[in-house]
Amino acid sequence: MAVVNLLTAINQALDQKLADDPSVVVYGEDAGYEGGVFRVTAGLQKKYGVDRVFDTPIAEAAITGNAVGMAINGLRPIAELQFDGFVFPGYTEIVTHMARYRNRTRGKHGLPIVVRFPVGGGIRALEHHSESIETLLGHIPGLKVVFPSTPYDAKGLMISAIEDPDPVIFMEPKRIYRSGKQEVPEEMYRIPIGKAKVVQEGSDITVVAWGAMMREAEKAIKLLENENISVELIDLRTINPIDEETIIESVKKTGRFLVVQEAVKTYGPGAELISLVNEKAFLYLEAAPTRVTGFDITVPLAKGEMFHFVQPERIADQIKKVARF
């Protein structure tokens, strides 16, 4: 088994699905010849030709809107948007059409589309290159939203996303594109969309995170090594649909619940997850469920970025508070 990073794992998934299914096409700004600004699609155009892997003009509404038409007419488009902040010029097509076509046509036109893009901060980038926007997509009925944290999951989830009959938003935590390698099987395998993963079992508190925040949560747990707190850590993996079962089962066991999210606080996924726990496991709770989040500010440029970050120390501090309540 090859040991690869998250970026390469996604490249493998795209490569294998392009080979496996002639209706798959991959495209975006600079995604063809150069293989995208992060090189996630590197080598694919050479292998599959310019009709199936191609560069587009800089026009995100055209990128997302064309996916709608392609999918209606028999293709399985995988569209790349260059950065999280550039989703918005294409957002109108995603929200007003991509998410609604199945419902609008009473099931006649389901849209098997993947929209993928790098997400989140931590690479000292320019404005609009560091936002965590899962709330804004997870909130839209008709979209599935995936957010992996490891190379293994990224490959398996990408293959599932491409095969999914509905539009899937696939968020790639750019901060960990290249850091952290893992054994990833050569062959195609699938990880179901909507299934969280218990990464570490524990009995005192349930901590849920996803994407790059998994690494920070893991670091926080290390900081607490001598504190005698047994943490159950769950990787959410899919923002929508939420794997309620795994979370609720865990909270029933631990009685305590903490969400770690990079996104700004107000109306973020943490609010949703905490509501869920209140609705479905209220009687098992021994402390108020809570969250560690980014602040309600415009994501600062690099010189102030660390103030917005959810650092391991903040997570550890909060874990202690909830566990010792």
Partner 1 sequence: MLFKDYDPLKKKRLSILDEKGKIVNKELEPDIDKKTLLNMYKTMALGRIADTKALQYQRQGRMLTYAPNKGQEAAQVGAAAAMQEQDWFVPAFRELNAMLYRGVTLEQIYLYWYGNEWGSHFDEGVKVLPINIIIGSQINHASGVAYASKILKKNEVAVASIGDGGTSHGEFYEGLNFASSFDLPLVVMIQNNQYAISTPRKKATKAETLAQKAVAFGIPGMQVDGNDILAMYVAMKESIEYARSGKGPVLIEAYTYRLGPHTTSDDPTLYREDKEVEMWEKRDPMIRFKKYLIDKGYWSEKEDKALEAEQTKFVGETFKKVEQSGTEDLLDIFQYTYKEMTPQLKEQYETHKKFLEEGGK
Ligand X SMILES: Cc1ncc(C[n+]2csc(CCOP(=O)(O)OP(=O)(O)O)c2C)c(N)n1
Q: List interacting residues with ligand X (CB under 6 A).
A: 29, 58, 60, 82, 86, 89
Sequence letter at residue 53: V
Whether 163 and 138 have beta carbons less than 8 Å apart is answered as: no
User: How near is the Cβ of 21 to partner 1 at its closest, in Å?
Assistant: 26
Q: Which one, of 182, 262, 258, lies nearest residue 221 by Cα?
A: 258
221 Cβ partners below 8 Å, 6+ apart?
200, 207, 231, 233, 316, 319
Stretch that binds partner 1, among 84-92, 188-196, 237-245, 281-289 (CB under 8 A): 84-92
Using CA atoms, how far residue 140 sits from 62, 89, 134, 136, 243, in Å, is 20, 16, 10, 7, 17
Give yes or no for residue 325 binding partner 1 (CB under 8 A): no
Residue nearest to ligand X (CB): 86
User: How near is the Cβ of 63 to ligand X at its closest, in Å?
Assistant: 9
> Which residue number, 3 or 126, has a Cβ lying nearer to ligand X?
126
Rg (CA), the chain: 19
Residues in 25-64 at the binding interface with partner 1, rule: CB under 8 A:
29-30, 33-34, 37, 55, 57-59, 61-62
DSSP string, 194-241: T--EEEE--SSEEEEE-TTHHHHHHHHHHHTGGG---EEEEE--EEES
User: How near is the Cβ of 248 to partner 1 at its closest, in Å?
Assistant: 28
Interacting residue with partner 1 among 181, 265, 280, 320 (CB under 8 A):
265
Is 129 among the residues known to form the active site?
Answer: yes
Which residues are bridge partners to 78 per DSSP?
Answer: 26, 114
User: How near is the Cβ of 33 to partner 1 at its closest, in Å?
Assistant: 6
- The mark string for 145-184 relative to partner 1 (x by CB under 8 A, - otherwise) is ----------------------------------------
Q: Which of 97, 109, 128, 129 is catalytic?
A: 129
Q: Work out whether strand 2-4 and strand 182-184 pair parallel, antiparallel, or are unpaired.
A: antiparallel
Q: Cα–Cα distance between 270 and 105 in angstroms, integer?
A: 33
Whether 42 and 48 have beta carbons less than 8 Å apart is answered as: no
Give the rounded distance of the alpha carbon of 123 from its chain centre: 17
Residue 291: name its binding partner from partner 1, ligand X, none (Cβ under 5 to 8 Å by kind): none
Residue 59: name its binding partner from ligand X, partner 1, none (Cβ under 5 to 8 Å by kind): partner 1
Using CA atoms, how far residue 272 sits from 80, 126, 245, 259, 278, in Å, is 28, 30, 15, 10, 10
- The mark string for 276-315 relative to partner 1 (x by CB under 8 A, - otherwise) is -------------------xxxx-xxxxxxxxx--xxxx-
Interacting residue with partner 1 among 89, 110, 194, 255 (CB under 8 A):
89
Binding site for partner 1 (CB under 8 A): 29-30, 33-34, 37, 55, 57-59, 61-62, 85-86, 88-89, 124-129, 265-266, 295-298, 300-308, 311-314, 317
Catalytic residue set? 129
